[in-house]
Amino acid sequence: MNKLSFSLVLFCLTFFAKAQELKENTFKSEIKSVTIFLSGAQIFESAQGNFSAGESVVVIKGLSPYLDEKSIQVKGKGNFIIQAVNRRLDYLSEKNIGEEVKKLEGEIEAIQRNQSRENSRLEVLNEKISLLSANKNLGGSQSSTSTASLKQALDFYDTELTAIKKEELQLKANMQEEDQKLNSLRSQLVGLQASDTKSTSEIRVKIKATTAGTASFELNYLVQNAGWYPKYDVRVKDVSSPLSLNYKAEVFQNTGVDWKNVKLRFSNGNPSQGGQMPEIDKWELNYARLTVFQPRNTQPFSGSVSGRVVDQQGQGIPGATVLVKGTTIGTSTDFDGSYSITVPGKNGRLVFSFVGMMPEEKIINSSIVNVQLYEDNQSLQEVVVTGYGSSNKKALTGTTVKLRGTASPALADAQTIQTTFQENQTTVEIEVTEPYTIKSNGERTLVDLQGYQIPATYQYSAIPKLDKDAFLIAEINDWSKYSLLQGESNLYFEDGFVGKSILDATSLQDTLGISMGRDRSIVLDRKKNEEFSQKRSIGSNITESRQYEILIRNNKSQPISLKVTDQIPISVNSEIQIEAKELSGGKLDPNTGFIEWEVPLKPGEQKTLVFGYEVKYPKREKVILD
């Protein structure tokens, strides 16, 4: 150990030994506001109390165990000097948390024991029903049972069976109520157990004052295991009406501390993402046989993905976060660890994470993706951080450029929550004026941010090569002014739920297209015309031709315009020549091979589109056209 390291260790030991001798003053603190990032949250607290003359330590207890020590900022008001700030774990609070955990576990065990007794009673009732059924042949082997005896037996059978069924229904109703109570208790247990694994934090501020007095502190810090995902409700009354867009935030937090009646701000920033600009390496091109290729998902899955997140014992994990890698699309698991999420076609991985567990990344190769998470044994350690004096240092850095204004109420009978959009230098923040309470239990909380009435044009579109349904697309111009993020959207058309989609706010197009779902009143079919699909040999070349027919019928009661897209192949080899044949008036993009038709259709009208192409290539080679 060199002299510098030895001196540093000696200084730290001396500081902490001296701090133990100083008088401690515990200040009461309260969370005033929270800025929630896409991953993580910044907590703003205030604390007040009395301090002693001379050197003393102000202690602020009950903070999140997932506090980022490097992010702590403290500003004080009073006649004193801040000498140092440090954060450490509060092991004394473990006892209280442990007692609450034991209490909840006891309640859960009591309900489970009662359900065991109820299940046993149901088995007894089923046996009684079986016994009655086995003996309902009242006459046995005799055929001369009297009418009076038969009536007496039937009355007995009716009375007993009615009593059994009544008790059975009551037991099942009780068990259903107990299941709901169990789910609530387990959700509470999640947050407490997360805090139990890592003790609560406390911030210790060393101050020096000439006389005793009163002080107040403003402090803020970053915490992990919290965040939000953008969600949308998209409603269209009819194709002649504007599009109604309800912008929401799905909030999750497992910080170990409840947020009670706090002001919320939602930021599109992500402090956990590195801010360092990447550096590009030189590109060395070599023969393919000397080149190492990285494996990748060549056929990314798109659509709805569901599954279950479990721990090492196979038990479902409630409140685990599920994120589509590289996007802002995410969700969290419910009480038994199940989830469902909509995935855009270009993304092929899901990232799973939970408090105290190592994150897991999975390739999306089917509609069901299950995952098992394992405990992360890395513990939080005490770290000394820089303290700020009682200067007027701002908690949030960044210059405010523009204030968009207050959101207008959406089209609803009830009054909507008011929000303001604030555009900073590198981020956009949405502030909710009404205070919210969000408990640390892993439950998903939806917060309404803003409602828009957006002028839109509507276009029916179809790609019959991939899907034989037509889709209604709402197109929005000048959409960047709404500060939207990529996220899942619930689609409602003509007051009915039509499905889920992705609002792709990462698009570079001037027009944002929102799929409003399928319209099965427009019927399509695509088939190959075998008569014109041929293969023939001419000299040293082979020529193959293909022709396809697209049949379209409008079964709606009003006329429509349908955009149909198909394609012909594009050659990347000079020896392969491709020539488009009949296109039925479609527009061909020679760079992409895409063909587009704008097809007007009257009610009940049917049309046929025909297109084809011819491919010429050397006889020694082979190409795949089907």
Distance CA 87, CA 605 (A): 74
Determine the pLDDT at residue 515: 83
Cα dihedral 171, 172, 174, 175, rounded to 10, equals 120
Distance CA 618, CA 598 (A): 36
Amino acid at 493: F
* Mean pLDDT to the nearest integer, 317-332: 86
Determine the pLDDT at residue 460: 93
Determine the pLDDT at residue 526: 94
Determine the pLDDT at residue 32: 93
Q: Give percent above pLDDT 90 in the chain.
A: 24
- pTM to 2 decimals? 0.62
Residues 6+ apart with CB under 8 A from 171: 118, 121, 122, 125
Distance CA 430, CA 259 (A): 18
Specify which residues 542 forms β-bridges with: 537, 617
* Mean pLDDT to the nearest integer, 187-201: 61
pLDDT at 308 over 80: yes
Instruction: Label residue 91 by pLDDT band (50, 70, 90).
Output: low
Q: Is 125 strand, coil or helix? A: helix
Instruction: Label residue 397 by pLDDT band (50, 70, 90).
Output: very low
Determine the pLDDT at residue 93: 52
Highest-confidence range of 342-346, 594-598, 620-624, by mean pLDDT? 594-598
Residues 6+ apart with CB under 8 A from 106: none
User: What number of CA atoms fall less than 13 Å from residue 242's CA on the CB side?
Assistant: 11
Q: What is the DSSP string of 288-344?
A: GGG-PPPP--SS---EEEEEEEE-TTS-B-TT-EEEETTSS-EEE--TTSEEEEEE-
* Mean pLDDT to the nearest integer, 426-450: 81
Instruction: Label residue 297 by pLDDT band (50, 70, 90).
Output: very low
If residue 179 lies in a helix (H) or strand (E), which one and from where to where?
Answer: helix 147-197
pLDDT at 285 over 70: no
* Mean pLDDT to the nearest integer, 305-318: 87
CA angle 492, 496, 502 (to 5 degrees): 25
If residue 9 lies in a helix (H) or strand (E), which one and from where to where?
Answer: helix 3-21
359-368, Cβ contacts within 8 angstroms, sequence gap of 24 or more? 361/325, 363/297, 364/297, 364/300, 364/301, 364/305, 365/297, 365/301, 366/301, 367/301, 367/303, 367/304, 367/305, 367/306, 368/305, 368/306, 368/307
HEC profile of 225-275 = CEEEEEEEEEEECCCCCCEEEEEEEEEEECCCCCEEEEEEEEECCCCCCCC
pLDDT at 14 over 80: no
Q: Is 625 strand, coil or helix? A: coil
Amino acid at 26: T
Tens-place pLDDT, residues 94-124: 555 556 777 878 888 888 888 888 888 888 8
User: What number of CA atoms fall less than 13 Å from residue 165's CA on the CB side?
Assistant: 7
pLDDT at 626 over 70: yes
Determine the pLDDT at residue 345: 67
Q: Give percent above pLDDT 70 in the chain.
A: 78
Distance CA 150, CA 155 (A): 9
* Mean pLDDT to the nearest integer, 572-598: 91
Instruction: Label residue 347 by pLDDT band (50, 70, 90).
Output: low
Find out whether 198 and 65 touch, Cβ atoms under 8 Å: yes
Determine the pLDDT at residue 583: 92
pLDDT at 423 over 60: no
Highest-confidence range of 16-20, 385-389, 491-495, by mean pLDDT? 491-495
Distances (CA, A) of 550 to 239, 528, 553, 579, 589: 25, 9, 10, 20, 19
Closest CA to 216 of 49, 395, 82, 53: 49
The two tokens of residue 44 are 């703003």
The two tokens of residue 188 are 């509470």
Highest-confidence range of 155-159, 203-207, 374-378, 439-443, by mean pLDDT? 203-207
Distance CA 332, CA 309 (A): 10
Determine the pLDDT at residue 404: 31
Distance CA 435, CA 444 (A): 17
Pairing of strands 457-462, 560-567: parallel
Distance CA 439, CA 448 (A): 17
Closest CA to 435 of 173, 612, 258: 258
Residues 6+ apart with CB under 8 A from 620: none
